[in-house]
Amino acid sequence: MSKTKGLYYSSEVFVFPLLLLLLIAIIFWIESKFNVNFNYLGIYPREIKGLRGILFSPFIHGSSKHLLNNSVPLFVLTSALFYFYRSIRWKVLIYGTILTGFLTWIIGRPSLHIGASGVIYMLTSFLLFRGIFSKQYQLTALSFVVIFLYGGFIWYIFPVDEKISWEGHLSGLLIGLLFALLFNNDELKNKKYLWEKDSYNPENDVFMQHFDEDGNFIEKSTEIEETEEVSNNKIKINYIITTKKSKENKEL
């Protein structure tokens, strides 16, 4: 299986998510250290200046608790995206962040919306639904893991707390579902064994020659010899398959 379709580990699976968290942490440190507030760069719905928050708001957090609550799921979900959906990871992450922010700008309350929770909901939704739609056991297993870890997130797409941007959460959920439907051709290839291929002929399979039409095993007493020639190097290879009985006769 080629690396473009298969699952394999590389350092970038964790390096890029860690760099993303580091950038968010540095911005929060700058705010705390120099007593500045970047909240004005958040998303402010239906105002032109509020559009800048589509790019900046995921990096801005109102408190250390807000930052810590977002850090772990952001790292876990981004790492899962980078490992299981390697070829489309940047499309999902970048376009998903932009569209989630834009939808928040459209449906949000007239208030500043900050934080990476919209991106987290987008990643959760994408990983959950894409795994279910794919019918691939690895990706379906990932969906169950996401449900187990972050299934409780579903409650926060409703206005349960006026301090929480449920509009950003809902936007992330909808964009993640949309991407799960759109990116439907980037699945892992199912491994095909020799007997599953169209070119497979059981009559040429030495092992299958030991079975009759009803599937009963037949012990052949004669020797079967096959010859394979390599035309370029003029090499002849002889394969000899014998039964236990014929082998014992030769040793006598």
Can you give the residue range of the structural domain that contains 200? 194-251
Q: Residue 41 has what pLDDT?
A: 96
**Whether pTM exceeds 0.85:** no
- Whether 27 and 149 map to the same domain: the answer is yes
For residue 209, being part of any structural domain is answered with: yes
Of 182, 209, 235, which marks where a domain is finished? 182
Given a cut of 60, whether residue 64 has pLDDT beyond it is yes
Given a cut of 90, whether residue 246 has pLDDT beyond it is no
- Whether 58 and 177 map to the same domain: the answer is yes
Rounded to the nearest integer, the mean pLDDT of the chain is 83
Q: Residue 48 has what pLDDT?
A: 97
pLDDT digits (tens, 9 = 90+) for 120-130: 999 999 999 99
Backbone angles phi, psi at 196, to 5 degrees: -95, -10
- Token pair recorded at residue 62: 């109102």
- Token pair recorded at residue 94: 């970048």
Q: Which of 5-14, 66-75, 171-180, 193-202 has the lowest mean pLDDT?
A: 193-202
Question: Whole-angstrom Cα distance, residue 41 to residue 55?
Answer: 9
For residue 31, being part of any structural domain is answered with: yes
pLDDT digits (tens, 9 = 90+) for 73-90: 999 999 999 999 998 999
